[in-house]
Structure 1
Amino acid sequence: MTRKTHEADAIVVGGGPAGLLAALLLAQGGVATVLVAPPAPEDHRTTGLLAGSVAILERAGTWPDLLPVAAPMRAIRLIDDGGRRITGPEVVFRAAEIGRETFGHNIANRDLVAALAAAVAETPGLRRVTDTAAEIRIGVGGVTVRTGGGGTLRGRLVVGADGRNSAVRTAAGIGVRRWGYDQAALVTTLRHARGHDDISTEIHTAAGPFTLVPLGDRRSSLVWVTRPAEAQALAALDDDALARAIGRLAEPILGAVTLDGPRQIFPLSGLAARRLAMPRVALVGEAAHALPPIGAQGLNLGFRDAAAIAGVVAAAVRAGADPGAAAVTARYEAKRRGDVASRTAGVDLLNRSLLTDSAPALALRALALQAVKRVPPLRRLLMREGIAPGGI
């Protein structure tokens, strides 16, 4: 099929942050792009955008619009809950130790999506179809997407950014590995009596991390990972009772707390696609990998996917090559496989280490925290790799 028979070089399916960013970066790279995505559903969560993701948004030109509604994270504190048989020391990572003002910024997902959607609407060479992808056909020479409204789109590459139950991934026949945890995350927003000093705090309990992330003046977002039954019981409490339950862990750090937003519950699970790409297809974000909300890795990983696919496809288009050819999608797979595999394994290991009651495992974890606390070069290495792996 010649280029004239295609409406676009790339079709991006999915309107979450990773899909919006992928479409934006592709178009900015000179790739004729169509984004197929209905309006995003309401999302009350926040995302800790680490420095690598902030740099990507700066290159995309959207960070100036986001900075006024983003809260800096200048330090990260890890605390073991005192109820454990063996506890590690409190560890504080400070961005200044590696010559940075911040590790990144925390931002409400609705603000992030709104800014990216506005940039998509204003970008030449990028068309958004606010509809679902009802049918996706992947052929040797190209891709056809039929929308829920009966429209037809043709392209040479389809980028699946359509979440855990990706229709693009299914159409491509790419298998997945799924796993679950006996955990759920209760998510809400708090106001508190004391300032957070731009410090994000993770309290590691036997059921998972209780994480407080700065979100403006005396406001923080909470992600409380615990057993599913406890999460449901907490969510059923009235605001005052829930604030008291949260306060048992939060008040020693932030003072008296009150709820400042709705609460949501998300079961914890993981997903890893068997492949990240094949001829005519590339997967980004949760279509490719899904992680528990630990260490702020999930969406940051998806943003690196978006930057990588945009980079390899834009280079192919500039060279006059087919952007969906096997050589191009293989380059994307090669660029992303190591980062995705290492982050997936690392987050899974960290989460499972919190759930064990084995004395040897707890002792090993405590020793590791002691080493991180007492060996500055090791601490600095972990900080650099955490915010921008490999210097990305």
Structure 2
Amino acid sequence: RIVDAGGAEPEPRVIKDFNAADISQLPFGWNLPNWLLRREILARIAAIPNVEFRAGTGTKSLFTRNHEARVTLSDGDQIRAKLVVACDGRSSPMRDAAGIPVKTTRYGQKALAFAVTHPVPHDNVSTEIHRSGGPFTLVPLPDYQGKPSSAVVWMERGPRAEELLAQAPQVFEAEMTRRSCGLFGDLTLASRRSIWPIISQSAARMDGQRLALMAEAAHVVPPIGAQGLNMSLGDLRVLLELAETRPEGLGDAQMLSAYHKARHNEIMLRVKGIDLLNRSSMIEARPLRDLRAFGLNALYSLAPVRKTLMQMGLGVK
């Protein structure tokens, strides 16, 4: 559900539902808490006989040749491999060691992340409310202490976000209820608040010699439309398919070039699209906010466009 609240007061003036039933019998996706994902991933790793997991160990250097890569770890060990998959974050040491340039866009925004309870049920619908500074997004969670609950990502310009973070809980709850347009009743904090800088980032290439970039080492986007994890899973899917198609070519130039070609254009399209959505959500001037509301109405009214946008969000197109 997308709500435009860009009028004189923070109240909904345009509400549009993007319904998964319009394109399939399945929901758009599943919202899983980090602790659950972490538990299941660690359990799966422990069950795979040829995986060695070294918690807390980082990388120090990367040395590559045509036939192999050598990675020196922070504990002093050196690992030889046919393929290094760099999933080491937006400041990726492996990407830097390979000399792959990265383009970073800073918006002067920060995101507050926290959980809330509220009296009005969310009905398993994610709601994104646009006014200025960035979207205010409520993502459905299971009930907490017998009440409906949601995870919230509240994007604002940096100084305003810091000001909100410092507010006493009661003051903050009044502010976030106002920002949510009261759609779910009075919001009550159900977790601590954390704050994160908002950037867009994309690597010039997805590959280097014996190296594949994945997840935030390759691309970072603002938290709009739940695309970050989906894009990372897309990287993983393509890399696995290539490895299974030509196992004898694991990590060679042909495989990695195919990986770059399969992912890079799609990623650039998504990074640019989310950048545009974020900039439109930050708009301060009322006439431009009015134009944004008009654009949302126009896009939603065109059924083929609406369905295409939903399919792109799922990675179908």
Compute the TM-score of the two structures, normalised by the length of structure 2.
0.92
Residue 103 (str. 1) matches residue 28 (str. 2): yes
Distance 1:244 1:80 in 2: 17
Q: Please state how far the C-alpha of 1:364 moved relative to its aligned partner.
A: 4.7
Task: Give CA-to-partner distance per residue, 1:281-301, whole Å, 9 cap, x none.
Answer: 110000001111111111211
Q: Which amino acid aligns with 1:330?
A: S
Structure 2 unaligned regions, length at least 5: none
- In structure 2, C-alpha distance between the alignment counterparts of 1:363 and 1:81, rounded to whole Å: 7
**Deviation per CA, 1:138-191, whole angstroms, max 9, x where unpaired?**
223211112222222100111110001101101111011111002110110001
Partners of 1:297 and 1:308 lie apart in 2 by: 17
Alignment partner for residue 125 of structure 1, among 41, 46, 50?
Answer: 50
Matched, 1:200 2:126: yes
Query: Distance in 2 between the 1:101 and 1:312 partners?
Result: 28
CA distance in 1, matches of 2:30, 2:177: 24
Q: Does the 8 Å contact 2:6/2:286 carry over to 1?
A: no
2:90 alignment counterpart? 164
Aligned residue number for residue 342 of structure 1: 269
> Aligned runs of 1:138-287 on 2, under 5 Å?
138-217=64-143, 218-250=148-180, 252-287=182-217
Deviation at 1:125, TM superposition (A): 2.5
2:307 maps to 1:380: yes
Change over 3 Å in CA distance of 1:203–1:243 after alignment to 2: same
- In the alignment, what sits opposite 1:83? 8
CA contact (8 A) 2:133 2:284 kept: no
What residue is the counterpart of 1:327 in the other structure?
254
Q: How does 1:351-370 map to 2 (within 5 A)?
A: 351-357=278-284, 362=289, 364-370=291-297
Question: How far is the alpha carbon of 1:356 from its aligned partner?
Answer: 3.4
Aligned pair count?
311
Asked whether the equivalents of residues 64 and 209 of structure 2 are also in contact (C-alpha less than 8 Å), the reply is no
> What displacement does 1:278 show?
2.4
Mapped contact 2:133–2:157 kept (Cα < 8 A): yes
Given candidates 234, 239, 242, the residue that maps to 1:309 is 239
Q: CA deviation at 1:360?
A: 7.2
Deviation at 1:88, TM superposition (A): 7.1
Give CA deviations for 1:236-259 in whole Å, capped at 9, x if unaligned: 122222111111133621112211
Q: Which residue in 1 is equivalent to 2:227? A: 297
Deviates more, 1:87-96 or 1:175-184: 87-96
Q: Partner amino acid for 2:307?
A: R
- Which residue identity lines up with residue 112 of structure 1 in the other structure? L
Give distance in 1, aligned partners of 2:284 and 2:51.
Answer: 52
Question: 1:359–1:212: structure 2 CA closer, same or farther, 3 Å change rule?
Answer: closer
* Corresponding residue of 1:25: none
Task: Give, in angstroms, the shift of residue 302 of structure 1.
Answer: 0.9
Q: Is the 8 A contact 1:196 1:214 kept in 2?
A: yes
CA distance in 1, matches of 2:233, 2:198: 21
Alignment of 1:39-50 (within 5 A): none
Structure 1 CA distance for aligned equivalents of residues 97 and 24 of structure 2: 46
**5+ residue gaps, structure 1:** 1-75
Please give the alpha-carbon distance, in whole angstroms, between the structure 2 residues aligned to 1:214 and 1:341: 29
**Post-superposition shift, 1:332?**
0.3
Q: Is the 8 A contact 1:88 1:367 kept in 2?
A: no
Q: How far apart are 1:210 and its partner, in Å?
A: 0.6
**RMSD (Å) for aligned C-alpha atoms:** 2.0
* 1:306 CA displacement: 1.2
**TM-aligned CA deviation for residue 324 of structure 1:** 1.4
Amino acid at match of 1:206: S
Alpha-carbon distance in 2 for matches of 1:81, 1:168: 43
For 1:158, the aligned partner's letter is: V
Q: Please say if residues 69 and 80 of structure 2, whose CA atoms lie closer than 8 Å, have aligned partners that are also in contact.
A: yes
1:108-165 Cα offsets, whole Å, 9 max, x none, are: 2232222112212212332223321122222232111122222221001111100011
Letter of the 1:272 partner, please give it.
S
